[in-house]
Chains A and B, each alone.
Chain A
Amino acid sequence: AQKVTQAQTEISVVEKEDVTLDCVYETRDTTYYLFWYKQPPSGELVFLIRRNSFDEQNEISGRYSWNFQKSTSSFNFTITASQVVDSAVYFCALRFRSGGGADGLTFGKGTHLIIQP
């Protein structure tokens, strides 16, 4: 069975602070894919990044960066110089690859990020 744990239920920071959202996953598969999604109050899940298990390079996209470490089964997400518009619920998700076709995404419980002005 696979599992995604986002231990931080809610984080509140003041605008312009850096913030890191933690994600720890469990899977027995050697090939798998990790995702981060953002869910604003409107409800839609907005795709942020996909990373496969073979690619451990960290990625930076503007103020966003991701640190993938297979040794600790973690895929953490950092927002630099946070802004009020970053306020949302962030989900980490895991999808594995199987011979007969992959299963759906397994999501963590989400981290509610509040950026105060």
Chain B
Amino acid sequence: KAGVTQTPRYLIKTRGQQVTLSCSPISGHRSVSWYQQTPGQGLQFLFEYFSETQRNKGNFPGRFSGRQFSNSRSEMNVSTLELGDSALYLCASSWTQGQGSGYTFGSGTRLTVV
């Protein structure tokens, strides 16, 4: 059974550009959530999608957005990149949304903004 797949694995962007990250959940999983990991702030929740709808959102500026497709695949977009956006972005999928669902994480996309 394939795990959570995140692409690309590494990315280098210039300040001011925008970027789109992709996450393919485990087959049958309908919930996808995104996290940002930085040395200073640690792991922080970005947002969670279920059935193509954003259900929960963390405390991030509007430059961070996402969407989920009918096949549960999700994309995350960051516009007007800042140096501080350099981070490991992790995606997690689960069977259902919320509560005590177990989460399976992908290997992440490491974004470097220069």
Contacts and interface: CB of A to CB of B under 8 A. Distances in A.
Contacts of B98: 97, 101-102
A91 B99 contact: no
The range of chain A's interface size is: 20 to 34
A70 B58 CA distance: 27
A87 B48 CA distance: 30
A62 interface: no
Nearest to A43: B108
Interface in A34-61: 35, 37, 42-47, 50, 52
A46 B108 CA distance: 12
Interface residues of B, number: 27
Given A44-B105, A45-B105, A109-B42, A95 B110 contact: no
Contacts of A43: 88, 90, 107-108, 110
A95 B98 CA distance: 9
A37 B105 contact: yes
Classify the secondary structure of B's interface with A.
strand
A52 B42 contact: no
A117 interface: no
Contact of B45 (A47, A106, A110): A106
B105 A103 contact: no
- Top 10 nearest A-B pairs (CB, nearest first) are A104-B45, A102-B98, A45-B105, A107-B43, A33-B100, A44-B107, A43-B108, A101-B98, A109-B42, A97-B99
Interface of B: 33, 35, 42-48, 55-56, 58, 88, 90, 92, 97-100, 102-108, 110
30 contacts: A43-B107, A43-B110, A44-B106, A45-B90, A45-B92, A46-B105, A47-B104, A47-B105, A50-B100, A52-B100, A91-B43, A93-B43, A95-B99, A95-B100, A101-B97, A101-B98, A102-B56, A102-B97, A102-B98, A103-B45, A104-B45, A104-B47, A105-B35, A105-B43, A105-B45, A107-B35, A107-B43, A108-B42, A109-B42, A110-B43
